[in-house]
Structure 1
Amino acid sequence: MTGAGGTRLHKWKDAMREAGLIDTLVELADTLTGDFDLIDFLHLLAGRCVELLDAEAAGVLLAHPHGRLQVVASADEAPEVMELFQIQVEEGPGREAWLTGAPVSHPDFAAGDTPWPRLREMAATAGYSAVYAVPMRLRDENVGALCLFKSAAGEPDQESVRAAKAMVDVATIGLLQARVVQQREILVEQLQTALNSRIVIEQAKGFVAERLGVDVAVAFGLLRGYARARGRRLTELAGEVVTRSANVQDLFGGAGTTE
C-alpha cells in the first residue's frame, strides 16, 4: 500500500507496537515483585519479542556462573528452533553479544559469508534468513543475550532494536535483582545457622564444664580439640554432647554423659 493510506497504516502499526511495548514493560516490571518465577519471566520476554518485534523466533541465553551459556527460554519449543539457540552455546550472535556486550546481527544467511556455518545450515532448514542478538547487560556485567531470528533477509528495523533493548534492560535488572535477593537470603540463612550453632556450642560448653569441673574456656578447648582430632564438625559434636549421645562418651572419661 502506498500514499496516504500506506502512511496511516504504518503509523497505526507503530502506535500498536508502542502500546504493546509499554504494556509489556509494565508486565515485566510487575512480574519482578515477590518470589517471581524466573523461567516463566524469561518465557514471557521471549514471547513478547515475537509478538512485537521484527522477528519470528526469540530465545534467551544466560551465562552459567562457571562461564558457559545455556538456553533458558524460547518463544517456540519446537526441536529445530531449540537447536538454533542451543548451538549458540558454542557459536553464533547470541554468544558474541554476551562476550562483547554489544548487539550482533547477520542480515542474510544466503550471502554465504556468515562466520557460523553450522548455525546458517540450521537456520536455513528452519526457514530463517537473518538473525540479531541483543546483550543482556547492566553496566559492566553481562548475564546473557536475547537472540532473534527473522524469516526475511535484512537488518532489523531500528524500532525493533530499540524495543528489544528496552525489554532486555528490564529483564536484566530483574535477573540481577533476583541474584541479589538470593544472595541476601543465603547470607541471612548462613547467619541464622551460625547463631543457632553458637547456642548449641554454648550449651555443650556448659555441660562439659559442669561434668568435668573445669571453666568454660577449658571446656571449649576440649570440645574443639576433640572435634579436630576426629575430623568432626564442632557444631555436630556440640549437638551430640547436648543430647547426651553415647558417641561422645569418651570425651568425659569416667564421668560419662548421662544424668
Structure 2
Amino acid sequence: MTSQQRVLDILVEAVDTLTDDFDLIEFLHRLSLRCVELLDVDAVGLMIVDQHDELQLIAASDEKTHLLELFALQHAQGPCVRCYHSGQAQLNISLTTSAATAGFGPFAARARKAGFTTTHALPMKLRHQVVGAVNLFSTKINRLSASDIQIGQALADLATIAILQQRTIEHSHTEKAQLQSALSSRVVIEQAKGILSERQGLGLDETFDSMRAYARPRHLRLTELAQQVIDNTFEGNIAPAEIPERP
C-alpha cells in the first residue's frame, strides 16, 4: 500500500468516526498513533486548553510521552506551549543544542533523558481559534518534510474538528436540558396557579402575582413554591393582600 493510500485510509477512518456519539478520548488516542505511523516520529502527545485557559494533556501515544507532556505543562515550557500561545508551528527543534531550546528551561534536559533528540509542535486551530497543540517527538535527529508537515497539520485539524464538535454537542445538550427544565418548571407553576386560583377565588394573573410576591422576599424559587402547593406541603399563606399593584 502506498503512503498516499494509507493517508487517505486514515483520513476516511477519522471522518467516519466523527459521529454524535463518538468517544473523543479514544478518537484522539487513535489519532496520536496514526501520527506516529505516518510521520516517522516515535511519540505524540495532544494538549488542549480547558475552561480556565490552561493546557491539559488529553491523549498520548505512550506513557513516556505522557510524563513528558505533564512536565512541559507544569512548567509552562516547551514547544507545545509556545505553539499554542503563538498559533504557529514549531518545527525541527533539536533537543541537543542549547540555542534551539533557549527559553524551554529544563524541558530539553527532561526530553533528552526520555530518549528524544528532536521535537515539533503543530497548532490545533480553526481559523483564529486555537484549542491546543500536537507535540511530535523523535529519538533520532530528523527534519519533517513539507509533505509530512501537511499530513501532520491535517491530522491536527481533524483533532480540532473533533474537539470543537464535541463541545458543540455538549453545549447543545446543555441548552436542551436547560430548556426542558424550564418547560417542566412552567408546567409545575401552571398547575399550582390552577390550585391556588380555585382555592382562593382569584384570577390566574392575580394568583401568579401573589405567588411571585410571596416567593421573592423569602428567596424561594417559584418552582419550589409551586411544587409545595402541588404536594400539599405548603404551610404559608398566599393572600390577595400580597399581590402588588399592577402598573
- Matches of 1:130 and 1:243, distance apart in 2: 68
Percent identity reads: 37
In structure 2, the partner of 1:151 is 139
The alignment covers a number of residue pairs equal to 235
Q: Check conservation: 1:59, 1:147, Cα contact below 8 A.
A: yes
- Matches of 2:77 and 2:3, distance apart in 1: 31
* Residue segments in structure 2 that go unaligned for 5+ positions in a row: 240-247
Tell me which of 83, 88, 95 is aligned to 2:72.
88
Residues 91-120 of structure 1 deviation map (CA, whole Å, 9 limit, x = unaligned) = 111111111111013531111121213110
Q: Amino acid of the residue matched to residue 214 of structure 1? A: L
Q: Amino acid of the residue matched to residue 120 of structure 1? A: A
Q: Check conservation: 2:116, 2:138, Cα contact below 8 A.
A: yes
- Matches of 1:236 and 1:17, distance apart in 2: 63
Corresponding position: 1:107 with 2:93: yes
RMSD: 1.5
- Matches of 1:69 and 1:88, distance apart in 2: 10
TM normalised by structure 2 equals: 0.90
- Matches of 1:97 and 1:217, distance apart in 2: 59
Q: Check conservation: 2:47, 2:58, Cα contact below 8 A.
A: yes
- Matches of 1:88 and 1:160, distance apart in 2: 24
Q: Amino acid of the residue matched to residue 160 of structure 1? A: D
Q: Check conservation: 1:47, 1:75, Cα contact below 8 A.
A: yes
Residues 151-188 of structure 1 deviation map (CA, whole Å, 9 limit, x = unaligned) = 11243222221111111112211221221122112111
Residues 50-96 of structure 1 deviation map (CA, whole Å, 9 limit, x = unaligned) = 11112101010000021000001000024xx3221113321111111
In structure 2, the partner of 1:220 is 208
TM normalised by structure 1 equals: 0.86
- Matches of 1:237 and 1:156, distance apart in 2: 66
Tell me which of 102, 105, 127 is aligned to 1:117.
105
Corresponding position: 1:22 with 2:8: yes
- Matches of 2:202 and 2:111, distance apart in 1: 77
In structure 2, the partner of 1:59 is 45
